[in-house]
Structure 1
Amino acid sequence: MIRADHIQIVILLGALLSVVFFLQYYGDTEMFYSPKLVKMYKDSNNYSFPKCERNMAAARISGFDGFPDILKDFLYYRHCRYFPVILDLPDKCGSIEEPEDIFLLLVIKSSPVHYERREVLRKTWAKERSYKGLRIRRIFITGTTGTDFEKERVNKLLKTEQQEHNDILQWDFQDTFYNLTLKQVLFLKWMKRNCQQVNFLLNGDDDVFANTDNIVDYLHGRHNNNGSQHLFTGFLIKNGFPVRWDRSKYFVPSQVYEPNVYPNYCGGGGFLLSSYTALMIHSYSDIIPLIPIDDVYMGMCLEKAKLAPASHIGIKTFGWYIPSKKIDQYDPCYFRDYLLVHQFFPNNMYLMWNQINDPNLKCGITNSSRTIQT
């Protein structure tokens, strides 16, 4: 015979399971995991976090069946803020006891299969070195791609790169365009745990050309800002709007982002920010739902923090303009004064870096972006 106290226990267990279910599929960020696991993630330099489960409730969103598969996948995992780390760099910025004094950290978003791009960057503008006594360090942030044997091969490639260069930070999530925001958020969590002391960051794609000497000169010339104050600058975009056409790469339906205007933001190809601003973005990323456009999401976090992105004339993430058809669009004299230009591929990248650093390069008088202040 079933006793009343047994029934009460069953009811309590059912209620507890319902709460767990609710938190798992509707909860936000850290609510998905036990406090012990979250503390382990935050406090340990050697960690592995459990894989985040798909939120099947996302399929109940209005219009879900008509969304592109890539957007469906994004919505299934939109709640996730933690993924297992495959390749880590716990000592990239020194140890907790002896942190390294890093002036500029190059944070480069790279697809797992872009080996050639990473190799060229290691030999050119992303080379780890000191410039005028200020240390420059490099990290490639990436996820996974493919399935089964293909995924295994690519992961072995990244592991080999890691062993040789110590510059790969990889998580176990699908590295897609719609997951670029997730990649940014995961890096900021890593930075807070491992690299808070860095002064400034360049955040960019693996197909940008960056003149790191100019960048260091510009940042070092900022008055009263050693990274402890707000700085976020790049190619500023105002009054941008969500693309509602479902065949566009940039499709964002109102179910994902309801307003018809984006906050001001800088083009995601490349921008500069202080460690202060990076950590502020991190703090707000825990409470702002992800959207699949990563640069807009940075703008959303800045807006929430009441911080403004700024424009820099030396950062060109939407192409560049050469005033004459008689001049090569890759003329080094036009690039030696820029801070960052998007989009470059390996052959042009390697050639341009060597040309602008050639002491025999002769150019006419141009305005130097090294003196431009935002």
Structure 2
Amino acid sequence: MVLMRTFLLLLLLDFFLVLFCAQKKTPMKSSHIASWPKCQQNTSVANIPGFQTLPQHIKDFLYYRHCRHFPMLLDVPDKCGGADKSGEVFLLLVIKSSPGNYERREVLRKTWGEERLHNGVWIRRIFISGTTDSGFEKERLNKLLELEQREHNDILQWDFSDTFYNLTLKQILFLEWMERNCPNARFLLNGDDDVFANTDNMVEYLQGLKDNDGRQHLFTGHLIQNVGPIRGNNSKYYIPVQVHEADSYPPYCGGAGYLLSHYTALVIYKMSKSINLLPIDDVYMGMCLAKAGLGPVSHMGFKTAGLYIPSKKADLYDPCYYKDFLLVHRFLPARMYFMWHKIHDPNLKCGDSSNH
């Protein structure tokens, strides 16, 4: 009898120990966490002609191209106040950020990414991320994002490798999240964490649109057209025929930053379900638009290739050059912080030199 009681006591102790460990390993996040089985490699792609001659990162992309679902590590399902109240968010800032880019995220939280009421409407912020590195370093970076989440509640993270070739996957995972948690946010800025975005100007531009409160098509930024895949394998943007056969791309906007309506975001997500992933995320957005019979339009306020200053003697970071633009790529964190405060300085004086 004593042995039986001891045995039952040990079983009970084991149960609580397992339960405790499981709780300790569960990241701090919300109740709605998508759980998917690990995606299996599609080995049949090895039969594609010329596959064995491709660089390893292209092979890896093709092996896992079909994978669309990954476990969420961090979630903020109530970011927009819930699906029903998400229409109260006027501009949702969707910022692509790798785990190690802590300084960039911190500066954005204090500058153009600050969650605030501007011109009577709400701006909200979310960072989207995967995982990087491996072993102890991967654990450390995941813990860093967890700590940031605890303080700021502004990170979506999935358990996939956060690489250049997975940027499109990151976008699709976000759009799936948006459809579920934030379907009615009026407009979105989709951008990188190293752009200078004048979000005040963006709100004013969007408020000035006629007959569009987010329920009509809008996709605007730095328009790129009449280009096609780069076939040289020494380029970062190398796309072999095994990935994309056509020699041309549809019109698209530079991926460093563009504005779109919630209507268009949901159309893109719907179209993406029947279009194979392409590693170049901004081109892929253009492909989804084209399939829907829609297109992007140019906005001169977006400078995703950087800002051209004609004079060699001019200060490249004179705030008068930047105060009227919507977005400029690319900025270091310290310069971002400086520029945001300078363009909001009530004593800033810009004469004719500001009209560039």
* TM > 0.5 fold call: yes
Show the counterpart of 1:115.
102
**Which 4+ stretches in 1 moved above 3 angstroms?**
96-100, 365-369
Q: How far does residue 100 in structure 1 lie from its aligned partner after superposition?
A: 6.0
Deviations 1:197-237 (CA, angstroms, capped at 9, x unpaired)? 10000000000000000000000100010000000000000
1:179 aligns with 2:166: yes
Alpha-carbon distance between aligned partners in 2 of 1:345 and 1:281, rounded to the nearest angstrom: 31
Aligned amino acid, residue 213 of structure 1: D
Determine which of 50, 57, 61 is the counterpart of 2:44: 57
Could you tell me whether the CA contact under 8 Å between 2:94 and 2:191 is conserved in 1?
Answer: yes
- 2:245 is aligned with 1:261: no
Within 2, Cα distance between the matches of 1:315 and 1:350? 19
In structure 2, C-alpha distance between the alignment counterparts of 1:242 and 1:204, rounded to whole Å: 22
- 1:318 matched to 2:294? The reply is no
TM-score, length-scaled by structure 1: 0.85
Identity %, equivalent residues = 65
Structure 2 CA distance for partners of 1:263 and 1:352, relative to 1, 3 Å: same
The SS at the match of 2:157 is strand
1:277 corresponding residue in structure 2: 264
Q: Structure 1 residues 182 and 51 mapped into 2: Cα distance closer, same or farther (>3 Å)?
A: same
Q: Aligned letter for 2:71?
A: P
Aligned-residue CA RMSD (Å): 1.5
Gap runs ≥5 in structure 2: 1-30
Residue of structure 2 equivalent to 1:346: 333
Give the TM-score taking structure 2 as reference length.
0.89
Are 1:90 and 2:77 an aligned pair?
A: yes
What residue identity is the alignment partner of 1:328? D
Structure 1 stretches lacking a partner, 5+ long:
1-43, 370-374
Distance in 2 (alpha carbons) for counterparts of 1:64 and 1:354: 51
Aligned equivalents of 2:126, 2:179: Cα separation in 1: 15
Counterpart code for 2:211: N
Conserved 8 A contact 1:264-1:299: yes
Match of 1:78 among 65, 71, 74: 65
Alpha-carbon shift at residue 82 of structure 1 (Å): 0.7
What is the alpha-carbon distance in structure 2 between the residues aligned to residue 277 and residue 198 of structure 1? 12
Q: What are the within-5 Å matches in structure 2 for residues 151-162 of structure 1?
A: 151-162=138-149
1:291 is aligned to 278
| 1:300 aligned onto 2:287 | yes
In the alignment, the residues of structure 2 paired with residue 273 and residue 365 of structure 1 have an alpha-carbon distance, to the nearest angstrom, of 32
Return the offset for 1:323: 2.6
Question: In the TM superposition, what are the counterparts of 1:1-374 in structure 2 within 5 Å?
Answer: 45-96=32-83, 98-99=85-86, 101-365=88-352
Deviates more, 1:298-307 or 1:99-108: 99-108
CA distance in 1, matches of 2:206, 2:42: 42
Q: Which amino acid aligns with 1:288?
A: I
SS in structure 1 opposite 2:89?
coil
Matches of 1:286 and 1:228 in 2, distance apart? 21
Separation in structure 2 between the aligned mates of residue 277 and residue 96 of structure 1, nearest angstrom: 17
**Matched pairs, number:** 326
Matched residues in 2 for 1:240 and 1:97: separation? 41
2:327 maps to a residue whose letter is: L
Contact 2:129 2:170 in 1 (8 A): yes
Distance in 2 between residues matched to 1:325 and 1:250, nearest whole Å: 30
Asked whether the 8 Å contact 2:219–2:296 carries over to 1, the reply is yes
Q: What is the match of residue 23 of structure 2?
A: none
CA shift for structure 1 position 96: 4.2
CA contact (8 A) 1:94 1:100 kept: no
TM-superposed deviation, 1:51: 2.2
